């Protein structure tokens, strides 16, 4: 938008808000209700501003793939510096939290509003109301908040409460804090005069051990011995640890599997400190009973499979990863599957390196 056009829009907005000003200056006229409505496109948490329309998870998956995946990935995992849109639950206390609608955002209205008026990047406001409903439904599903047959509409919109809504509170600083900093400033005789009597260097405040070293430090010999002991212990640990060859895992296959797993890491975490996200933690998954990760809410089909005694053997995982929805109808896993046998074998080899 050019500078002159921006000024024109500002002037029109000002005149709409202040009809008397418009008449007194002789500039413009009060805006008509339909003209104000064209600019008033905000959507509020109580549903005010939502247009008629609806969209289901399946349609949202298709629209997301067409209009959003180039930046945010097929599974909302984020590409390069574009943000992750799924997962992050329980990460807000981490040093680098993952802020998604499933972990951080307080209101669904903000999600719909942002998609409808600002996305996709470079083509804002090209998403229809129905498409915005569908994309929002897909993102809810990707964050494990609805089932795959969910349909979002104006009628049920306010029934959806995001997990972190309770993590926000009204901004009461104007009442609670601002008055504390708005008293008349003191300009003279504000406190007793301060006199410096000694400098810290004269007080000998840093204690020393009898041999002249600063208190709490070790002599050089002790430090060397400690380092030697640590190095020796590390060497013993490395020597005792079984190699990947001894464990029967091909290092090249594991390395290839790590690359394939990048397609999964938006939803699943592995390694030390891993937590459940959109999908469960996969540490120790090989040979483990299905639906057994503590604290994760599994879909009903997965719970039924677990009750039926499903064990994630190499064969079972291979079939599941080839076609998740075909293997287990109704699964929450939105991933379409891995088509290459070598990719499946590689990612299973990679997962086998993480104990439970």
Omega before residue 120 within 30° of 0, cis? yes
Higher per-residue pLDDT: 45 or 242: 45
pLDDT tens digits along 68-78: 998 999 889 88
pLDDT for the residue numbered 224 = 39
Range 173-188 average pLDDT: 85
Same fold, 54-167 and 251-351: yes
What residues does 208 pair with on adjacent strands?
214
pLDDT tens digits along 105-163: 999 999 999 999 999 998 998 999 999 999 999 999 999 999 999 999 999 999 999 99
pLDDT for the residue numbered 140 = 96
Higher per-residue pLDDT: 257 or 227: 257
pLDDT tens digits along 282-298: 999 999 998 888 888 88
Whole-prediction pTM value? 0.51
Higher per-residue pLDDT: 226 or 207: 207
Could you tell me the sign of the dihedral formed by the alpha carbons of 177, 178, 184, 188, in that order? positive
Rounded Cα–Cα distance for residues 2 and 15 (Å): 20
pLDDT for the residue numbered 16 = 55
What Å distances lie between residue 305 and 233, 263, 308, 309, 335, CA to CA? 45, 24, 5, 6, 19
Cβ–Cβ contacts within 10 Å for residue 181, how many?
Answer: 6
What residues does 227 pair with on adjacent strands?
none
pLDDT for the residue numbered 113 = 95
pLDDT of residue 348 exceeding 50: yes
pLDDT for the residue numbered 38 = 81
Kindly write down the DSSP assignment for every residue of 191-203, as one continuous string: SPPP-----GGGT
pLDDT tens digits along 241-261: 444 443 567 889 898 988 888
pLDDT for the residue numbered 243 = 41
| 79 CB-near residues (< 8 Å, 6+ apart) | 70, 71, 72, 73
Domain boundaries along the sequence of the chain: 3-38, 54-167, 251-351
pLDDT of residue 17 exceeding 80: no
Rounded Cα–Cα distance for residues 267 and 202 (Å): 60
Helices and strands in the chain: count of H runs, count of E runs: 14, 2
How long, in residues, is the chain? Answer: 356
pLDDT for the residue numbered 69 = 92
Range 302-326 average pLDDT: 89
Rounded Cα–Cα distance for residues 177 and 144 (Å): 39
- The domain 54-167: what is its CATH number? 1.10.760.10
Q: Which helix (H) or strand (E) holds 56?
A: strand 54-56
Range 297-323 average pLDDT: 88
Find out if CATH 3.20.20.80 is the number for domain 251-351: no
């Amino acid at each position: 938008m050019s500078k002159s056009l921006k000024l024109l829009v500002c002037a029109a907005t000002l005149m709409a808000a202040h009809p008397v000003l418009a008449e007194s200056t002789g500039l413009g006229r009060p805006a008509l209700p339909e003209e104000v409505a064209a600019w008033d496109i905000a959507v509020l948490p109580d549903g005010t501003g939502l247009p008629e329309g609806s969209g289901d998870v399946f349609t949202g998956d298709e629209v997301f793939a067409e209009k959003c995946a180039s930046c945010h990935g097929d599974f909302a995992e984020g590409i390069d510096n574009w943000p992750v849109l799924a997962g992050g639950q329980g990460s807000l206390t981490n040093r680098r939290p993952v802020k998604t609608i499933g972990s951080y955002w307080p209101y669904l209205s903000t999600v719909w509003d942002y998609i409808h008026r600002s996305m996709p990047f470079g083509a804002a406001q090209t998403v229809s109301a129905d498409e915005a409903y569908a994309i929002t439904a897909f993102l809810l599903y990707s964050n494990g908040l609805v089932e795959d047959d969910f349909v979002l509409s104006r009628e049920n919109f306010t029934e959806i409460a995001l997990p972190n809504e309770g993590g926000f509170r009204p901004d009461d600083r104007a009442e609670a804090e601002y008055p504390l900093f708005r008293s008349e400033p003191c300009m003279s005789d504000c406190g007793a005069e301060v006199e410096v009597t000694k400098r810290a260097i004269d007080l000998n405040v840093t204690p020393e051990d009898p041999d002249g070293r600063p208190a709490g430090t070790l002599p050089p010999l002790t430090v060397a011995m400690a380092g030697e002991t640590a190095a020796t212990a590390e060497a013993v640990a490395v020597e005792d640890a079984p190699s990947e060859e001894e464990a029967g895992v091909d290092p090249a296959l594991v390395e290839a599997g790590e690359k394939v797993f990048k397609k999964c890491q938006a939803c699943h975490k592995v390694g030390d400190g891993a937590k459940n996200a959109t999908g469960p933690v996969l540490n120790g998954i090989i040979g483990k009973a299905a639906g057994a990760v503590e604290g994760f809410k599994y879909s009903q089909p997965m719970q039924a499979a677990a009750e039926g005694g499903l064990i994630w053997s190499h064969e079972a995982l291979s079939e599941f990863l080839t076609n998740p929805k075909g293997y287990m109808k109704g699964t929450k896993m939105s991933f379409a599957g891995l088509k290459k046998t070598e990719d499946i074998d590689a990612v299973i080899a990679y997962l086998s390196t993480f104990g439970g």
